[in-house]
């Protein structure tokens, strides 16, 4: 029996487990009713009287060692399991630096959020469009310079021969507005964000693609006063409560009357600086009342309904908000530039 006790003592001290099943198997093997240590206690009654004292102490020591070892292994297993539960097993083993949203995305989402508070919903449309939705239904004359190859990217077909329904990359998101108006009767209150393309030389102030957010509201008795109030609300929410606006007469084929909107320079507070060219004002968008010809071409009765439209460049708003002077920075994916917006 002494040899058996010493053998089990060695086995118990070397015990290792990997999971709960192995831990339970060890307990059953040594300490259950039919376990090996329990069996030794059954045999102990047959030990000679002169050996009982010594073997009894060794047997009790073996049992205590086995219980202590099992408790130790149980604590180790539970601690490892708790640690494993805290780990994200979907993460890559390599450390990944914290990313950030692009400044244009930040500003676009803020614009959408501001107008959504006054009932505007978001509509999107294709970037590859046809002449009818981009120009024809928006009251552009056939000879309008915007249709020229110098301003618009046309998709050639039939060996470069252009036809009235030329396919092109949209030059503004107003094409989404025409699609909404042709499938939906007023009231209409939509916001149309998206990327647009124009055939321009790339520089610090211009690019061949940029981003717009355009708005359209059509209902009964919509007036220019409604347009001004909506734009004043937007300017104050975007640039601060002290922001002032002014509307200057302008011309757009799809609105009449038309205007361009300036805001008081948020850099100098309207006092005059290099950014606003000492005028105290900065242009941010174009707007106007929807031309009746546009309503009629989209199947809306211009005698019953009226509406307003506006459009702004997201890059322009971002320049004002974050004072980014070079448009090329938005598309060059320079990590040093993008890291500046981690806290936004």
Fold of 103-341: BirA Bifunctional Protein; domain 2 (3.30.930)
- Residue 306, token pair as written in the block: 């009226």
DSSP class of 329: G
Domain ranges in the chain? Answer: 2-85, 103-341
User: If DSSP states are collapsed to H, E and C, what string results for 163-179?
Assistant: CCCCEEECCCCHHHHHH
- pTM for the full predicted model: 0.68
CB-based contact 215:234 (threshold 8 Å): no
CB-based contact 199:158 (threshold 8 Å): no
Strands of 245-252's sheet, edge to edge? 121-122, 188-197, 209-219, 306-313, 281-290, 255-264, 245-252
Spatial CA neighbour of 286 closest among 210, 231, 238: 231
pLDDT tens for the chain, residues 1 to 344: 677 777 877 887 877 777 777 878 877 887 787 788 777 777 777 777 777 787 778 778 878 888 888 888 788 777 777 776 666 667 777 776 767 788 999 999 999 999 999 999 999 999 999 888 999 899 888 777 776 766 888 887 666 555 555 888 999 999 999 999 999 999 999 999 999 999 888 887 788 889 999 999 999 999 999 999 999 999 999 999 999 999 999 999 999 999 999 999 877 777 887 777 888 898 999 999 999 999 999 999 999 999 999 999 999 899 888 888 788 888 888 888 888 887 66
Task: Give dist(CA 61, CA 58) in Å, integer.
Answer: 5
**Maximum C-alpha span of the chain:** 122
Give the number of C-alpha atoms closer than 13 A to the C-alpha of residue 59, restricted to the C-beta side. Answer: 20
Can you state the percent helix, strand and coil of the chain, rounding each to 5? 45, 20, 40
């Amino acid at each position: 029996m002494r040899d058996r006790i010493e053998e089990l003592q060695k086995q118990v001290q070397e015990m290792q487990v990997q999971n709960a099943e192995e831990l339970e198997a060890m307990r059953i093997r040594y300490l259950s009713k039919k376990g090996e240590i329990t069996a030794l206690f059954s045999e102990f009654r047959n030990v000679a009287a002169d050996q009982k004292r010594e073997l009894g102490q060794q047997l009790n020591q073996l049992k205590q060692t086995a219980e202590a070892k099992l408790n130790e292994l149980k604590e180790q297993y539970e601690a490892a399991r708790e640690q494993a539960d805290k780990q994200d097993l979907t993460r890559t083993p390599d450390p990944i630096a914290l990313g950030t949203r692009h400044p244009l995305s930040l500003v676009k989402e803020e614009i959408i959020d501001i107008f959504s508070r006054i009932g505007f919903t978001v509509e999107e449309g294709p970037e590859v469009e046809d002449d009818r939705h981009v120009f024809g239904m928006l009251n552009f004359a056939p000879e309008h310079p915007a249709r020229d190859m110098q301003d618009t990217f046309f998709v050639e077909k039939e060996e470069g021969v252009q036809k009235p329904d030329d396919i092109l990359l949209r030059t503004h998101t107003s094409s989404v507005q025409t699609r909404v108006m042709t499938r939906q009767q007023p009231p209409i209150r939509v916001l149309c964000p998206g990327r647009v393309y124009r055939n321009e030389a790339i520089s610090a102030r211009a690019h061949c693609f940029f981003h717009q957010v355009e708005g359209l509201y059509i209902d009964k008795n919509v007036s220019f006063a409604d347009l001004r109030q909506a734009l004043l609300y937007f300017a104050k929410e975007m640039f601060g409560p002290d922001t002032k606006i002014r509307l200057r007469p302008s011309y757009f084929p799809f609105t009449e009357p038309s205007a361009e909107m300036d805001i008081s320079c948020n850099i100098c507070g309207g006092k005059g600086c290099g950014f606003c060219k000492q005028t105290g004002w900065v242009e941010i968008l174009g707007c106007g009342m929807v031309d009746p010809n546009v309503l009629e071409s989209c199947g809306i009765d211009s005698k019953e309904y009226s509406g307003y439209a506006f459009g702004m460049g997201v890059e322009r708003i971002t320049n004002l908000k974050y004072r980014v002077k070079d448009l090329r920075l938005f598309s060059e994916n320079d990590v040093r530039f993008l890291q500046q917006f981690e806290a936004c």
